[in-house]
Amino acid sequence: MGFSDVLTRDHECPACHHRDTYSVQFKFGDCRGEVFEIGDSITWQGLREGEPGHRLVVTGGIGSACSACNGPYDLERVGNDWFEVYLENDVITLVTWDNGRFDLRRDGDFVVLDDYPPDRRPTDQG
Ligand SMILES: [Zn+2]
């Protein structure tokens, strides 16, 4: 099945504050290998993953651990290469490392949300 990528430019590690760009692969919406940036809208044609029609969702993404500290979280067993990808009205609003709060660590997992978690507001992003 297909996937999309989102680039996180100047993304700050919450542990060591190192800034870098990560490419995060996710499966939600039209998945034809397109490369998005935060603020871009996904579409729902063709190779579809997930489910349209939700105001706010978080889906899992695969990227890499912080290039400076291999963090940010102490996730020995599962590693730090998973991300949370938030989409509000099909716009990618926030991409951040998955701290294990949601069960997103299989391909195509997503959770429908009423609101962002308190520590995951889009404005928190560096
Ligand atoms: Zn770091």
| Ion ligand 1: residue ranges with CB closer than 5 A | 13, 15-16, 18, 66, 68-69, 71
Ligand 1 mean position to 46 CA, how many Å? 37
CA 110 / ligand 1 centre spacing (Å): 25
Closest CA to 109 of 54, 68, 66, 51: 51
Q: Smallest Cα–Cα separation from 113: which of 59, 63, 61?
A: 59
Q: Where are the domains of the chain?
A: 4-118
Chunked into runs of 10 residues, the chain (126 residues) has average pLDDT values of 90 96 96 94 89 96 95 81 96 94 88 94 66
Residue 79 CA, ligand 1 centroid: distance in Å: 13
Answer yes or no: pTM beyond 0.75.
Answer: yes
Distance from the alpha carbon of residue 87 to the mean position of ligand 1, in angstroms: 24
